[in-house]
Structure 1
Amino acid sequence: MTKTIIGLDKAKSEELVKELNILLANFQIHYQNLRGLHWNIKGKNFFELHVKFEELYTDAQLKIDLIAERILTLQGEPLHTFEDYLHNGNVTVGKSISNDEQAIQLIVSSLTTLLSVEREILELSDEANDEGTNSMMSDFIAEQEKTIWMFNAWLTK
C-alpha cells in the first residue's frame, strides 16, 4: 500500500481529493450566489439580510480556502476555474434574485446540497482514517445544519 506524505493510503486520498474538489466547486457556486444575494436583495428585510448574506459569504470564502488547502495536504490539485466549478458543481446558480424568500430558499437548497457532499466525504474520510478531513466535515455539517434550521424558522409563516 502506497502512502501519502501524511501517512494515509494514497488511493483513498485520491478519492477524497476527487470528492473534495466537488465540494470546492459547489462552495464556489454557493459563494457567488451569496455575493449576488448580498448585492441584489430588496424589500423590508434588506438591512437584516444584506448583513447576513455578507456574514455567510465571508464564512464561505474561509471554507473554500480550507477545502483547497486540504486538497493540497492530500497531495491533490484544487479546481480553480469557473468552468471546473460549473462542470463539477450541483448547487443551483441563483441569478437576479432580489426577493427575500427566494433568496433564503436558494441558500437552504445550496446548504442541503453541500451537506450531501460533505456526508459522503465524511464516510470516505472515516474509511481512510483521515481525521483532518473528517474533523473539517464534521464542523461544516454541524454549522450548516444549524443554519438550515434557522433559515427554515425564518421562512415559517
Structure 2
Amino acid sequence: MNYIGIDEDVAAGEIKALNSLLASYQVFYQNLRGFHWNIKGEKFFGLHEKFEEYYTAAAEDIDAIAERILTIGGAPLHSISQYLKESKIREVTEVSEARTAVESILEQYIELVNLERPILDQSAEANDEGTNSLISDLLAKQEKTIWMLSSWLK
C-alpha cells in the first residue's frame, strides 16, 4: 500500500492512465489557445471569449490531474515531447474558421471523456475516492460542454 492506502500496483495503473489524460489535456489546452488566437469572422468576439474560458478551465484541470498523480505516488509528465508522444489528442493548426474550430473542440472533449471513463471505473474498483471524485467532476463539466457545443453546431 502507498501512503494514502492505495495498492501500489493499482496506483501504478492509475498513474499511467492519468499521465495519458494529462498529456492529452496539455495538447488540448494548446489547441484551445491556437483557436483563441486565430479565430476570424463574424463570430470572432463570442468565440474568442469562449475559447479563453475553455483554456482557462483546462489549465485548472491540468493542475488538478498533475497534483492527483503526485498524491497517489506518481510523477506527472512535464515535457512537450512526452505530451506529444502520450497524447490521444493530436495538434490542430491553422484553424481560423468558427465551425471548424468548434467541431474540433467538440471532438477533443469527446476524446477526453473517452479517456476518463476507464479511469473512473479503475478508481472506483481501487476504492480511490480522490481520483474518482476528480474524474467524476471533470466528466460532469465536459458532458455539459459537449451538449452545448453540439447545440451550437445544429
- The TM-score bracket by the shorter chain reads over 0.9
**d(CA) in 1 for partners of 2:83, 2:90:** 12
**d(CA) in 2 for partners of 1:115, 1:88:** 16
Aligned alpha-carbon RMSD (Å)? 0.5
Structure 1, unpaired ranges of 5+ = none
Q: Does 1:104 align with 2:84?
A: no
**d(CA) in 1 for partners of 2:27, 2:104:** 12
Structure 2, unpaired ranges of 5+ = none
**d(CA) in 2 for partners of 1:139, 1:149:** 16
- Counterpart among 32, 35, 48 of residue 33 in structure 2: 35
**d(CA) in 1 for partners of 2:106, 2:89:** 11
**d(CA) in 1 for partners of 2:75, 2:90:** 24
- Post-superposition, which runs of at least 4 consecutive aligned residues in structure 1 deviate over 6 A? none
Give % identity.
51
TM-score (norm 2): 0.99
Superposition deviation, residue 92 in structure 1 = 2.6
Task: Map 1:108-119; keep pairs closer than 5 Å.
Answer: 108-119=106-117
**d(CA) in 1 for partners of 2:96, 2:90:** 16
Count residues in correspondence: 154
Letter paired with 1:73: T
Q: Does 1:127 align with 2:125?
A: yes
Q: Deviation digits for residues 66-110 of structure 1, max 9, x if unmatched?
A: 000000001100000111111111113110100000100110110
TM-score (norm 1): 0.97
**d(CA) in 2 for partners of 1:49, 1:121:** 31
Q: Contact 1:27–1:64 at 8 Å: present in 2 too?
A: yes
Q: Deviation digits for residues 103-136 of structure 1, max 9, x if unmatched?
A: 0011011001100110010011011100000001
